[in-house]
Structure 1
Amino acid sequence: MILMDRSMTTWRALATLYLLSLLAGRAPAAEPPPWLAGLDAGGTLQVLCLGDSISDGWQMTRPEADAYPALLQEMLAARWPAAQVEVVADGQPGGDSTGGLWRLEAHLEAIRPQVVVLQFGGNDKGTGDGLLNLPRYEANLRDLVAMCRAAGARPVLCAPPMHELVLGMPFPTAAARIAAELDVPLANFDRALKQNLVDSRGVFPFGIHPLEYGHARLADVVYPAVREAMGAPLAARLTFEPCNPAAAAAPAPVSLDVRLDNLTPTPVAGRAWVEVAAAGAETALDVAADGAWQGAVEVPLPPPAADARSREFPLRLHADLGSERLLERAVLAEVPLLSSGYGGALAASNLTGQATTWGGVADLAAQVTLTNDANRLTVTVTVQDDVVVPADGPPRGDGIELYLDLRPDGQRGAPPWSDQCLALMVGLGADGAATVT
């Protein structure tokens, strides 16, 4: 029995003993925990999402509803509607795995979670390649896993998303390797975002953190990992292929490629449907007797607002297969941009995203001039816009992005997420004052 009022030193000792048992070959039992059977009868499920600004939903408009911990709670509640499901999000902007050790101790004592999602790595890396910080990060992940297991909680590790567009960077690779070594379910956030980019320039579009579209993708991978940790792996999977709503002029429907797979040898039957919350519409899918379905679904979309500079359409994909209930949150995201690239005048060819949103220079025009003296470089941007959408900067409202690319010839023009490419974001606040990030 583990006493929950132990000190951090005792937790460390318990964690060390647990790691020694793993090295001796005594891996944790994989059978479902005793509390799992009680969820259908109204039991309690406590999940802790412990991490950095990603788990906080930093810079989202409604993180309490749209960040991945909130989506995870919605998905778990859809599977166990009679249970008391609570997902506690403790995301600390700037937090790293070292601070996570102390924060985890407090949560293990206070709420006694049954499952803990451990999401660290971006701030452990810091600036540059961060390789000097990698051994400490790996040691902390092992301690975090051991602390969870010593307290009776089932851990899930997240491979952190990196700014670089390529896969296989050291920190997500280390998280995946440790998850495999310790037999911990893995939610690969890095792969999830890079395979479903909102913006071709990087995992963090506009120099900020994942927004609604990105968090829906994070929920895609963390939910099956949590189910695996609970000893209740998915019996079916509902997925869709993202499409660009700019291909259709709303309110015309777009075609959504949906797939429902039965993951068990037992035939299942039921129903599935797509819900478009903003349009107040549902589209049914005919599910075959074996629970499999694949095809294109025509999804109606509402018209954009008159002053819209971007469109995000939240969808819910449902499946009720008797023993398995699925809820998949999806966001069709479209962010129109006018970009002058690396020099040149704005033209229709510079428009990306919704190809009908720019009506020429009468709609939106900009002029950029650069001057310099011995001490400074001055960039002056003059924007003329017929409709101004104030907010905290792109992509929420009107704004300007400037990049100072210090990379050598042959690398300029590539995705700008690099330590040698500096980004400056200027937005127009609701009070008319400029905000700079």
Structure 2
Amino acid sequence: MHPLHRHRRHCIALAGAAAALWLSPALAQGKTTARKILILGDSLSAEYGLARGTGWVTLLEQRLAQQHPNASVVNASISGETTAGGRSRLPALLKQHQPQIVVIELGGNDALRGLPLQQTEENLRLMLQVSKESGAKGLLVGMQMPPNYGASYGRDFAQIYTRVAQDTRTPLVPFLLKGVADIPNAAALFQADRIHPRAEAQPLMLDNVWPTLRGLLG
């Protein structure tokens, strides 16, 4: 082979290797940043009483499309869901969707039905453990009870989320309805049942969840 031809082939090979080294980090990044987020919640996450597309989970999808386009959302929330219901459904959801992040927003209906606090805590703890065993990161979204439930009960209920998050080393959003239910004119942000927030409150709810969720997305 003519020396000039050998030199040309060697240069082409080096150029190809350099291109591969240049492209591979970008390709690897695109592969590793893909995220599927499973939302396991109750009516607060299921757009109860709202026009479709106005709930905080849908707003989350829109924000992800702009800021984390490789992330997608599976909303498995059901109105009236309890922690026991979520616990029974979660294994099949994990198997079906194989999410990288599991957001658990449950417990409010347990309190409304007067279920034992110990049972609620056990169910939340187990759901987070099962999620982590599947390889997913967990995010616990807390709830608080209105003052008419009594200060002692409200305190004990809120502490469930803090304790479970600490014991399982799970990121915690202390109160999904912060800035919605704990303000002087809160009634204006709720539907007639005074339980479910109106569409105007949904961006506030998303903003409560977003900083912690964004940290999990990386």
- Shorter-chain TM-score bucket reads 0.7 to 0.9
Q: Distance in 2 between matches of 1:180 and 1:228?
A: 17
The partner residue of 1:72 within 54, 60, 72 is: 60
Question: What are the superposed Cα offsets for residues 66-100 of structure 1, whole Å, 9 maximum, x if unpaired?
Answer: 2111122222222223x2x3211111111101110
SS at match of 2:147: coil
1:179–1:43 Cα change, 3 Å: closer
In structure 2, distance between residues paired with 1:148 and 1:203: 33
- Cα shift at 1:169: 3.8
Q: Which residue of 2 aligns with 1:98?
A: 84
1:172 Cα deviation from its structure 2 partner: 2.9
1:202-217 equivalent positions in 2, closer than 5 A: 204-207=190-193, 208-217=195-204
Instruction: Give the Cα–Cα distance (whole angstroms) in 1 for the partners of residues 158 and 35 of structure 2.
Output: 28
Aligned partner of residue 37 in structure 2, secondary structure: strand
Percent identical pairs in the alignment equals: 30
Do the aligned partners of residues 47 and 216 (structure 1) sit closer, same or farther apart at CA in structure 2, a change above 3 Å counting?
same
The aligned amino acid for 2:119 is: R
Q: Residue 164 of structure 2 is aligned with which of 175, 178, 182?
A: 178
- List gaps (5 residues or longer) in structure 1: 1-36, 233-437
Structure 1 residues 203 and 123, CA gap change in structure 2 (3 angstroms): farther
Instruction: Write the distance in 2 (CA, Å) between the matches of 1:42 and 1:157.
Output: 23
1:58 alignment counterpart: 48
Alignment of 1:220-369 (within 5 A): 220-230=207-217, 232=218
Q: Residues 136, 216 of structure 1: CA spacing in aligned structure 2 closer, same or farther, 3 A cutoff?
A: same
Shift of 1:43: 5.1
Partner of 1:89: 75
Residues 105 and 203 of structure 1: CA distance in aligned 2, closer, same or farther (over 3 Å): farther
**Matched residues in 2 for 1:189 and 1:164: separation?**
16
- Equivalents in 2 of 1:163, 1:205: separation in Å? 15
- Partners in 2 of 1:143 and 1:203 — Cα distance? 33
In the alignment, is the contact (CA less than 8 A) between 2:177 and 2:205 conserved in 1?
no
Local SS of the residue matching 2:132:
helix
Task: Give, in whole Å, the separation in 2 of the partners of 1:101 and 1:61.
Answer: 28
What's the C-alpha RMSD, in Å, of the aligned pairs? 2.6
Partners of 1:222 and 1:172 lie apart in 2 by: 17
Match of 1:139 in 2: 122
Match of 2:29 in 1: 38
Matched, 1:156 2:139: yes
Calculate the TM-score normalised by the size of structure 2: 0.75
Q: Is the 8 A contact 1:75 1:223 kept in 2?
A: no
Contact 1:184–1:229 under 8 Å retained in 2 = no
Sort the Cα spacing of 1:124 and 1:112 in 2 relative to 1 into closer, same or farther, 3 A: same
The code of the aligned residue for 2:197 comes to: P
Contact 1:47 1:115 survives alignment (8 Å): yes
Please report how far the alpha carbon of residue 184 of structure 1 lies from its aligned counterpart in structure 2 after TM superposition.
Answer: 1.0
Residue number in structure 1 paired with 2:23: none
Native 8 Å contact 1:185 1:228 kept in 2:
no
Larger helix share, 1 or 2: 2
TM-score of the pair, normalised by structure 1: 0.39
